[in-house]
Chain A
Amino acid sequence: MTDTASQVLSKAGGQNAPLLAAALPVADGMAISSVGDWIALLKPRVVMLVVFTGWIGMMIAPGHLHPVLAATAILCITIGAGAAGAINMWYDRDIDLVMRRTRNRPIPAGRIAPNDALAFGVVLACASVLVMALATNLFAALVLAGSIGFYVFIYTMWLKRRTAQNIVIGGAAGAFPPVIGWAAVTGGLDILPLLMFAVIFFWTPPHFWSLSLWAHADYARAGVPMLPVVAGARETRRQVFRYTLVLAAVTLAPWALGLAGIIYGAAALALGLGFVVCAVRVVRDRQDDAGVSETGDAPARAAFKFSIAYLFILFAALAADRLVG
């Protein structure tokens, strides 16, 4: 009994966590959670992209911010985004339990109590906004607060379970970081950070819908109206293609308006063409009459992977342009 239970414990964080919780009759979530569980609440993989785009926004902004304050601003963006993720996990704990992809998260697995997760998220959110205001300026702090509020209230609580457009509108939440980074340095706004916002805004639908093409069974089980669940895979593939075209056009705007140089322009053009090719393959994927892929959604998986590299390289090119220019 002891050995088995220890083995179960050693695997906690994995699929045996509910078993572990059951093996400890008086232990609440706090008793069995590890540091890794609390970090997992912050959705570190999602936060990586947020941090990167926020950092680029800060890099390309005119002006100078002391390195300590710049690092603090990045930390605030990181913590703020993570806090929004924690509150999202608290609110979505019922559907996370149903979906295979998310049922091992700390709350549905029983390793962290829901109220503890909520308190953790709220405290971190407030702290990140407060420190941002102290270290940089009030405007940057307000934009950070707005992005957290948008993700929690507009996307998570309002749109996600009600409309297939959840990702389109809710995607704006992930588009704030470069604006926050810019605002931290300048204390204001300009066309370039707004264009960066637009790039991430139009990037989100093809990125996420590519994922949902092969993960839609999970969403259907949880009753989340993702586009493939509501409109079918065939329509989702068409939407991926349309949004990719819009994205490719939007990414050229900074170069066309003279706000970025040739490095960025060439990167945007090449990456845009690459993404469009991926989207064409998604649309032309071999499928049956119901739109179900006969290739295991291989083109959608490829488009999803490409979309991640796409955003990293595009924003890196923008920064390189500024450094060289």
Chain B
Amino acid sequence: MPPTPPATTPPGLHQELRRRRRGRNVALLVVLLSVSALFYAIALVKLAKPEIGG
């Protein structure tokens, strides 16, 4: 579970932390989707021409 700022955290800080967490989550989503697409592309190429790339 991600760390949650305490109630005493100033609102400005809280907003910024949320923005950063959201940025990291979006980046992770993009990475996971990209890795899935990459594996799919590698599989397609390998299945089509198994001799390429040794």
Contact of A32 among B20, B45, B52, B54 (CB under 8 A): B20
Q: How far is the CB of B20 from chain A (nearest CB, A)?
A: 5
* Contact A24 to B5, CB < 8 A, known contacts A2-B11, A66-B45, A72-B38: yes
A65 to B42, CA, bound (A): 12
B32 at the A interface (CB under 8 A): no
Are A28 and B3 in contact (CB-based, < 8 A)? yes
A184 to B53, CA, bound (A): 7
Are A31 and B5 in contact (CB-based, < 8 A)? yes
- Return the chain A residue nearest B3 by Cβ: A31
Size of A's binding interface in residues, CB under 8 A: 36
A138 to B54, CA, bound (A): 9
* Contact A26 to B16, CB < 8 A, known contacts A66-B53, A137-B54: no
Q: Which residues of chain A are within 8 angstroms of B6 by Cβ–Cβ distance?
A: 25-26
- A5-13, A228-236, A286-294: which one contacts chain B? A5-13
Are B45 and A34 in contact (CB-based, < 8 A)? no
A134 at the B interface (CB under 8 A): yes
- The B interface, classified by DSSP as helix, strand, loop or mixed, is helix
Contact of B20 among A1, A5, A33, A65 (CB under 8 A): A33
**A26-48 residues at the B interface, CB under 8 angstroms:** 26-28, 30-35, 38
Q: Which residues of chain A are within 8 angstroms of B42 by Cβ–Cβ distance?
A: 68-69, 72, 131, 134-135
A9 to B52, CA, bound (A): 50
Q: How far is the CB of A65 from chain B (nearest CB, A)?
A: 6
Are B12 and A2 in contact (CB-based, < 8 A)? yes
Size of B's binding interface in residues, CB under 8 A: 26
A23 at the B interface (CB under 8 A): yes
Q: Which residues of chain A are within 8 angstroms of B17 by Cβ–Cβ distance?
A: 9, 24, 27, 31-32
A9 to B23, CA, bound (A): 15
Q: Which residues of chain B are within 8 angstroms of A68 by Cβ–Cβ distance?
A: 41-42, 44-45
Are B53 and A136 in contact (CB-based, < 8 A)? yes
* Contact A24 to B13, CB < 8 A, known contacts A66-B49, A187-B54: yes
Q: A2-B13, A27-B3, A31-B5 are in contact. List 17 more A-B contacts (CB 8 A).
A: A5-B13, A6-B12, A10-B16, A26-B5, A26-B6, A31-B20, A31-B21, A33-B20, A34-B24, A68-B41, A68-B42, A69-B52, A69-B53, A72-B42, A135-B42, A135-B53, A139-B54
A–B pairs, 18, beta carbons within 8 Å: A1-B10, A5-B12, A6-B10, A6-B16, A24-B13, A27-B5, A30-B2, A64-B52, A65-B53, A66-B49, A69-B45, A69-B52, A72-B41, A135-B53, A136-B53, A136-B54, A137-B54, A139-B54
A-B pairs, top 10 by smallest CB distance, nearest first, are A6-B12, A137-B54, A2-B10, A187-B54, A9-B16, A2-B12, A35-B27, A136-B53, A31-B3, A69-B53
